[in-house]
A and B are shown apart, each in its own frame.
Chain A
Amino acid sequence: MRILTRNFGKPGSEYIAAYGDYKALKKALSIGPREVISEVEASSMLGRGGAAYPTWLKWEFASKSHDSPKYVVANADEGEPGTFKDKAMLEKDPHRLLEGLAIAGYAIGAAEGFIYTRGEYPHAQKVLARAIAEAEAAGFLGEDILGSGFSFRVRTCTGAGAYICGEETALLESVEGYRGCPRLKPPYPTDSGLRGKPTLINNVETLANIPTIILKGGEWYGRIGDPHSPGTKLMCVSGFVKRPGLYEVDTGTTLAELINEQCGGVVGRFKAALPGGVSTRFIRHLDVSIDVPSLVDVGSLPGTGAVIVLNDTVSMVDAAKNCVKFFADESCGKCTPCREGTHRAYEILDRLSRKEGGPGDIGLLRELHAVMYDTSNCGLGQSALNPVISAIDLFEGEFWPGAGQGGGKHGPCDDR
């Protein structure tokens, strides 16, 4: 089913003329904020930013918070390597996001919304700015929207190049003009977020689902795909497949169906894939369905829906090293386990890749992962070594020659 990408093929899909009236916002204004949150609850939608938290629960917390003013923030700081879904949403159907953002604002009682876009997406920023102007001119944003008495203004913020700002509290720090270092939680942003006020932060894809949920009803949406994480999911497929690109699939579709049927299959001989960006674990079997419980079962996560497919030309040591280099560059430096751990892991993988490692190096990586997972302040440090450890779990033999141990290219764990 196509919900989010329905308009993508239309000419001028980024203009309000192609999107049409904000019918869902109109309906939301007529049924009231409580009923809006009930619909989102009935949809059972999980957040699409990577953490898979129930969307309605965040809305409920933000709406019950007594402090004011309240804010809504759309997180468009899409930095996870392999991900380009939010960019496509912003560039091809920004009004779907704006309508979702306005409905979220109405539901929790916010009068101001922010869209934080990463600095690397200059084209998306231009399209978005034009869309906001269009929506204001049409009376869907601004003062007294559609004569309801509800006022909602949207501002855009632009990042300046920092992966960590995709973490919600780091994003808030950045909006406030500081270094993007994550805050300690609790308090959660729904209690104390932007400027210390209750703030609802949702991913672009999450918010873009809202207009359809309101229009067609939460129950209707909840019946799409897998019952535990219903709806459709945007999948960014890259790496060695015949047709890389953005695909919208019902949850519950398997990765094999996505890659073999929709993407035309793997180029070369399939080796491994990351199902949700470089902070998830490598998997070697594609007969797993794209929903939260199934991916957790195989030890991975849906993450941001960025599927990176590797074939047998790729060295797993090299791939693991590349992933860790990214995290070492992007660690904000606030907490020691992550700041030091990512760099030490990179050093170890670098010497393994040059075949200068020692026999203890693989164990050291596992120990580092355990410490970083337990003690890092935010998800970056906790998941930074996921690709490394999973690569070792699945292809340990490839790491042996670098660690001065016996075995050729394929060790005993590589039992194809």
Chain B
Amino acid sequence: MVRHGGDGPGKRGIEQLRGIFAGFGNKREALIPCLAASQRMQRSITRGTAAFLAGETGSSLAEVYGVATFYHLLTEKPLGRNVIRVCDCLACHVKGGPEVLKAIEEELGIKAGQTTKDGLVSLVESPCMGLCDIAPAVMVNDEAYGDLTPGRARDVARAARLGVMPKYARCGKQAPGGIGSKVVP
């Protein structure tokens, strides 16, 4: 049995995680959903939570960390309240992704992979998020913002810091074609 310290999931967290375990016949299959839920609750996978999950799934701390560190969306480093993910793949890259990243870095005063000192915004480089038709694009938490210019990217970064995300920024000036694309407001 691995002991978990002060950074564990807490009483309410344990309740929630046990609720997830209850939905699975095999506890091991609940590990990734539990890690994702912990990431949402605590903004990172803490050692205490990893130890708790190791105990629950009957595996070692190393095994849980092995899984947690394999997946990009899980992190041991605490993320800020809002997370900006900047796409770094080919379609966004050739259409100005690096300039968008630079503008956001300048606006927030941090580099990709860092969190602002006030803990409000984290900036992460991300592999393709399926927003190639509105490249260059970023996601702020669960919302997509596309057709960005460095200027609009600064607006998005500023809004993420303030915690008020503009809905209209979902798509830009240029109307993407095709039948599956989002409608420009």
Are the CB atoms of B177 and A240 closer together than 8 Å? Answer: no
Contacts A177-B29, A246-B179, A263-B177 given: A237-B133 contact, CB under 8 Å?
Answer: yes
Contacts A5-B179, A9-B179 given: A244-B94 contact, CB under 8 Å?
Answer: no
* A80 contacts B by Cβ under 8 Å: yes
Q: Which of A163, A176, A322, A330 has the most CB of B within 10 A?
A: A322
Are the CB atoms of B180 and A245 closer together than 8 Å? Answer: yes
Chain B, interface size category, equals: 35 or more
* B22 surroundings in chain A (CB, below 8 A): none
Q: Which of A46-54, A96-104, A116-124, A136-144 contacts B (4 or more CB under 8 A)?
A: A116-124
* B151 contacts A by Cβ under 8 Å: no
CB distance from B29 to the nearest CB of A (A): 5
Contacts A246-B179, A262-B177 given: A79-B66 contact, CB under 8 Å?
Answer: no
CB distance from B58 to the nearest CB of A (A): 11
* A237 surroundings in chain B (CB, below 8 A): 133, 177-178
* B134 surroundings in chain A (CB, below 8 A): 244
Contacts A81-B90, A278-B90, A319-B90 given: A180-B70 contact, CB under 8 Å?
Answer: yes
CB distance from A49 to the nearest CB of B (A): 15
Are the CB atoms of A246 and B94 closer together than 8 Å? Answer: no
Least CB separation from B129: chain A residue: A120
Contacts A81-B91, A177-B30, A308-B132 given: A160-B179 contact, CB under 8 Å?
Answer: no
Q: How far is the CA of A81 from the CA of B136 in the complex (A)?
A: 13
Q: Which of B32, B139, B142, B180 has the most CB of A within 10 A?
A: B180
Q: Which of B9-17, B71-79, B111-119, B156-164 contacts A (4 or more CB under 8 A)?
A: B71-79
Among B35, B89, B131, B175, the residue within 8 A (CB) of A160 is: B35
Are the CB atoms of B179 and A8 closer together than 8 Å? Answer: yes
* A236 contacts B by Cβ under 8 Å: yes
Chain A, interface size category, equals: 35 or more
* B93 contacts A by Cβ under 8 Å: yes
8 closest A-B pairs (Cβ-Cβ)? A243-B177, A245-B178, A246-B180, A161-B72, A238-B132, A160-B71, A161-B73, A81-B89
CB distance from B75 to the nearest CB of A (A): 10
* B73 surroundings in chain A (CB, below 8 A): 119-120, 160-161
Are the CB atoms of B67 and A84 closer together than 8 Å? Answer: no
Q: How far is the CA of A87 from the CA of B128 in the complex (A)?
A: 12
Contacts A122-B142, A160-B71, A177-B28 given: A239-B127 contact, CB under 8 Å?
Answer: no
Among A158, A243, A246, the residue within 8 A (CB) of B33 is: A158
Are the CB atoms of B94 and A83 closer together than 8 Å? Answer: no
Are the CB atoms of B135 and A238 closer together than 8 Å? Answer: yes
* A329 contacts B by Cβ under 8 Å: yes
* B30 surroundings in chain A (CB, below 8 A): 177
Q: How far is the CA of A330 from the CA of B130 in the complex (A)?
A: 16
* A330 surroundings in chain B (CB, below 8 A): 127
Contacts A81-B132, A161-B71, A264-B177 given: A175-B29 contact, CB under 8 Å?
Answer: yes
Among A180, A234, A308, the residue within 8 A (CB) of B91 is: A308
* A220 contacts B by Cβ under 8 Å: no
* A39 contacts B by Cβ under 8 Å: no
Q: Which of A84, A121, A308, A318 has the most CB of B within 10 A?
A: A84
* B36 contacts A by Cβ under 8 Å: yes
* B57 contacts A by Cβ under 8 Å: yes
Least CB separation from B132: chain A residue: A238
Q: Which of B31, B70, B95 has the most CB of A within 10 A?
A: B70
Q: Which of B103-130 contact A (CB under 8 A)?
A: 126-130
Are the CB atoms of A243 and B132 closer together than 8 Å? Answer: no
* B89 surroundings in chain A (CB, below 8 A): 81-82, 278, 322, 326
Contacts A178-B67, A244-B132 given: A82-B91 contact, CB under 8 Å?
Answer: yes
Are the CB atoms of B181 and A245 closer together than 8 Å? Answer: yes
Are the CB atoms of B130 and A120 closer together than 8 Å? Answer: yes
* A162 contacts B by Cβ under 8 Å: yes
* A248 contacts B by Cβ under 8 Å: yes
* A266 surroundings in chain B (CB, below 8 A): none
Least CB separation from A6: chain B residue: B179
Among B28, B57, B181, the residue within 8 A (CB) of A246 is: B181
Q: Which of A152-190 contact B (CB under 8 A)?
A: 157-163, 174-180
Q: Which of A255-278 contact B (CB under 8 A)?
A: 262-264, 274, 278
